[in-house]
Chain A
Amino acid sequence: MLYDIFIDPFVQMYDMPDFFLQVLWEGFVAGILYALIALGFVLIFKASGVFNFAQGIMVVFAGLTLVGLHENGVPAYLALILTIGVMGVLAYGVERVVMRPLVNQPEIILLMATIGLTYFLVGFGEFVFGGEPKQMITQELGLPTGSTAFEIGDRGLIILQHIDIAAAVIAVIMVTALGLFFNKTRIGRALRAVADDHQAALSVGISLNQIWAIVWFAAGLVALATGIMWGARSDVSFALEIVAFKALPVLILGGFTSIPGAIVGGLIIGFGEKIGELYWGGLVGGGVESWLAYIIALVFLLFRPQGLFGERIIERI
C-alpha cells in the first residue's frame, strides 16, 4: 500500500514520460479554462462583493447566442460582434433591473438576485435556442482544429490539440488586457476604488452604476471566450453551467478578488486534479477529481485563509 502511494506513481512518471507530459499538458489546459471561468467571478466580486451565481449560465448563454445567430444565417464574425453586443445589453439590463434597485442591500440579497438571474437565463436561453446541445463554430471563427503529435525520443508521443493551444493564447491575451485595463485606465482605477469602499468611491464622484455595467460586460466577454473554448472541446449545452462551478475551488485558492489569483489558482487546481486522478485516483477506484480540487483548496486555506492572493481584511472592533 505504501509502495502504491509513495513510490509507484513516481516510477510511472519516469517509465512513461510521454504520458506524464500529456497529463501535465491536459492539467495546464484544464487550469487555463478554470482560470477563465474564475476570472468572470472575480471581476464581479471585486466590484460589488457578490458571488455571481449566474457566471456559469452566462458562459452557456454567450456560447448559445453565438452559435444560434450563426445557425440563423449570420456570418461567424458578425455573429461574434453581435454576441458581444448581446452581452453588453445583458450587462446594462442586469445593472438597471437587478443591481441598481438593490444598492446598499445585504450581500446575501445580491447573491439571491444572481441565483434568480441564473434561472431567468436558463429559461430564456431554452426558450430562444432550445435545449439541444450545439456544436461550436470553431472553424468558422478561424480557430485551429486538429492536433499535432510530438515524438519524445523513443519513449512515446504527446498529442497537442490546436484548439487547446489557442485557448492558452487567448487566456493569456485576456488576462493581460484585463490587467492593463484595471491598472492603467481611469475606469480600471475607479473600479478598484469601488472595490475598496463603495461610499468613499461615491463621495469622490465615481458612478457606481456605470462601473457595475462595465464590470458585468467584462464578465460577459470572459464568459463568451470561455463558452467558445469549452464549447469547442465538447459542445455548447446547458450541462456546461455545472462545469463552471469548477471555478469555486479556484476562487477559494486564489482569492475572490485577485486576477493573478484566478490564474495561479486555476493552474494549481488543473495540474493537481489531473495528476491526482491519473496517478493516485486508481487507489480509491477513480473519479477523485471532482472532489480533489476542493481538498487542494482547503489545504491551502489552512495556511492562507484569504486565499493565495486574496486581501487580508482586518476589521477593528
Chain B
Amino acid sequence: MKDFKQFALGTAVALGVGLTGLMAPTAQAQDSNYVPLLTYRTGPYAGSGIHIANGMHDYLQMLNERDGGIGGVKLELEECETGYNAQKGVECYEATKGKGALVYNPYSTGITLQLIPKASVDKIPVLSMGYGLSAAADGNVFPWVFNGPDTYWDGASVVIKYIGQQEGGLENLKGKKIGYLFLDAGYGREPIPLLEQLAEKYGFELLKYPVPGAEMQNQSSQWLNVRRDRPDYMVMWGWGAMNPTAIKEAVKIRFPMDKFIGVWWAAGDDDAAAGGEGAKGYKALNFSGVGPDFPAIDDIKTHVVEAGLSSADPETVGGTLYNRGVLNSVIIAEGIRTAQELTGKTVITGEDMRMGLEALNLDEARLKELGLAGFAHPMKVTCEDHSGSNPVFIQQWNGTEWRQASDWIEPMNDLVRPLLEAAAKEYAEKNAPWPARTEACPN
C-alpha cells in the first residue's frame, strides 16, 4: 500500500512537471516574445561579462517597464549562464530554443562557432554583435547570422588605419613593428589572417604574442618578449582578466600607453583603471556610446535600476561595456519591431526575427527617437552585408574615464570585403553540404 502511494505520488509529480514543461512554452509563445540571453556572470571572464549582461538585460527590461514591451507585447527575458564555455553555451541553447527563442547572443566566439550551423536548421538567428566569425558578414552564405556593426576584420583594419594616421600615412608603416597580443582562443585568433595580409601589403612586421587562457593573469613572459622586440605599437585582442593584467604589465615595462590599442572588448572601465595612473593614454576601439548622458540610459536608471529590477551597481550604468550590452539590446529590440512591421504580427518567430534583423535600419533619426542620439553610428543591414562594416572611433583613458579621441574611422572596406567573401566561400566548402540561401530578402 505504501509502495502504491509512493508510486502514485511520484507519477503525479512527474506528470505535473511534464505538463508544466509542455505548457510553459505555449503560454510564453502566446502572449510574449521570448528572448534568451546567454550571459556569464561567473568564471574567469565575469569581469567583462557582468557589465555586458547588465546592459543587455536592463535595456530590454526598461522597454517592458516603460512601454509594456515592443508593439504592445512584453518581452520574456531569461538569462542562461554559460561561463564563456562553449559546451555550456550549447547546453543553454538546447535548453531554451524550444521555448520560442527569437535570437541568440552567444557573447563568445567559441559558442558562436558552435551555433552557426544550428541556426539555419532551427530557424533561429544568431546575433554576434562585433564578435564571432568575421566571414559571417556575407549574408548570402550566412543568412541566419548577423555580426554588425563591425567584424573583427573591420576592427583590425581600423587599428592599422589609425596607426597609419599617427605615422603620417599607411605608406609609413613600412619597416615598423606592430605587436599583436591576443587571447589564444578562437576570439583572439580570428583577426590574424587579415593582420597578416595587411602586414604584407603595407610592409610592417607583425609580432604575435599569444596568451593562453590559463595564463591570463601570468603574462610576464609575453611582456618580456615585448620589451625585447620593441614593437612600435601594441594591439590587444583581450577579454576578461586578460585585459587588466596586460595593461598592468605594459605599465610595468614602461611601454608608451598611447601606442597601445585594444579592440572594443578590451575597452572596459575596470580594465584601464587596473593600471592606475600609469594606464593614462591607453586607447581602445569603440562603436557604442561613452558615458551615461543619454535619455535612454536615464530611462533605464528610472524604470529599472532605481526600481530594483537590475543587478547592476548603479555606478557602472553608462560604463563602456554596460553601454555595449545596451547597444546589443537596441539591435534586438529594433529587429523585433521591424519584424512586427514586416509581418503584421505582434508575437513573432525566429524566422520573422531573421527578416527583422535583415531589414534593420538604425538611422540617426531613429537613434534620436530612441533617446540614443550619438550613441552609435547609424547602421543599416542588407541581405548581402550582415555586418555593415560601420565606422569605429578610438577612445582614450585619461586616468579616470574614457574620452573619445578620434572621429569615426571607416574600416578598409575595399580590402576587407573581398577577403570576407572569400573566407565565407571557403567556410561553406569546408562544411559542405552547406545550405544554399533560400530565404527571401525582405529589403
Contact = CB atoms under 8 A, between A and B. Distances in A.
A131 B47 contact: yes
A16 interface: yes
Nearest to A16: B228
Contact of A286 (B208, B217, B244): B208
Interface in A207-226: none
Contact of A274 (B47, B221, B253): B221
Interface string A128-154: 001111010000000000010000000
A53 interface: no
A238 B253 contact: no
A122 B252 CA distance: 30
A230 interface: yes
Contacts of A238: 42-44, 46
B351 interface: no
A274 B220 contact: yes
Contacts of B44: 237-239, 242
Interface string B209-233: 1101111111011001101100000
Contact of B241 (A29, A234, A278, A286): A234
8 contacts: A26-B221, A131-B49, A243-B218, A246-B218, A274-B220, A274-B224, A277-B221, A289-B215
A30 B222 CA distance: 13
A278 B222 CA distance: 8
B329 to A, nearest CB: 21
A235 B217 contact: yes
B331 to A, nearest CB: 25
Contact of B270 (A30, A130, A132, A161): A132
Given A131-B50, A159-B254, A286-B225, A237 B217 contact: yes
A26 B217 contact: no
A135 B276 CA distance: 10
A166 to B, nearest CB: 15
B41 interface: yes
Nearest to A135: B274
Given A159-B253, A159-B254, A237-B44, A290 B214 contact: yes
B47 A237 contact: yes
A233 interface: yes
Contacts of A29: 220
A234 B276 CA distance: 12
B220 A19 contact: no
Contact of A273 (B49, B213, B221, B252): B221
Contacts of B274: 133, 135, 234-235
Contacts of B210: 285-287
Contacts of A239: 44-45, 216-217, 240-241
A29 B184 CA distance: 24
Contacts of B218: 30, 234, 243, 246
Interface of A: 16, 19, 22-23, 26, 29-30, 122, 126, 130-133, 135, 147, 159, 161, 230, 233-235, 237-240, 242-243, 245-246, 273-274, 277-278, 281-282, 285-287, 289-290
B109 interface: no
A161 B240 CA distance: 24
B346 interface: no
A130 to B, nearest CB: 7
B245 interface: yes
A12 B210 CA distance: 22
A22 B225 CA distance: 11
Given A19-B228, A233-B248, A239-B241, A289 B221 contact: yes
Contact of A237 (B184, B208, B241): B241
Given A132-B270, A278-B224, 10 more contacts: A22-B224, A23-B224, A26-B221, A132-B46, A230-B217, A234-B241, A234-B244, A237-B44, A242-B214, A287-B210
B46 to A, nearest CB: 3
A277 B49 CA distance: 31
Contacts of A147: 252
A230 B248 CA distance: 12
Interface in B228-271: 228, 240-241, 244-245, 248, 252-254, 270
B212 A130 contact: no
Contacts of A278: 221, 224-225, 228
A290 B215 contact: yes
A131 B82 CA distance: 13
A133 B244 contact: yes
Contact of A30 (B43, B213, B220, B228): B220
A282 B214 CA distance: 20
Contacts of B208: 285-286
Contacts of B184: 287
B245 A235 contact: yes
B23 to A, nearest CB: 31
A230 B47 CA distance: 17
Interface centre among B184, B210, B220 (most CB of A within 10 A): B220
A26 B224 contact: yes
6 pairs of A and B residues whose beta carbons are closest in the complex = A131-B46, A239-B44, A239-B241, A234-B217, A234-B245, A133-B47
Given A237-B217, A243-B217, A273-B221, A161 B252 contact: yes
Nearest to B51: A132
B42 A126 contact: yes
Contact of A234 (B224, B248, B270): B248
A109 B83 CA distance: 28
Nearest to A126: B42
Nearest to B253: A159
Contacts of A122: 42
A237 B216 CA distance: 11
A243 B214 contact: yes
A136 B75 CA distance: 40
A131 B215 contact: no
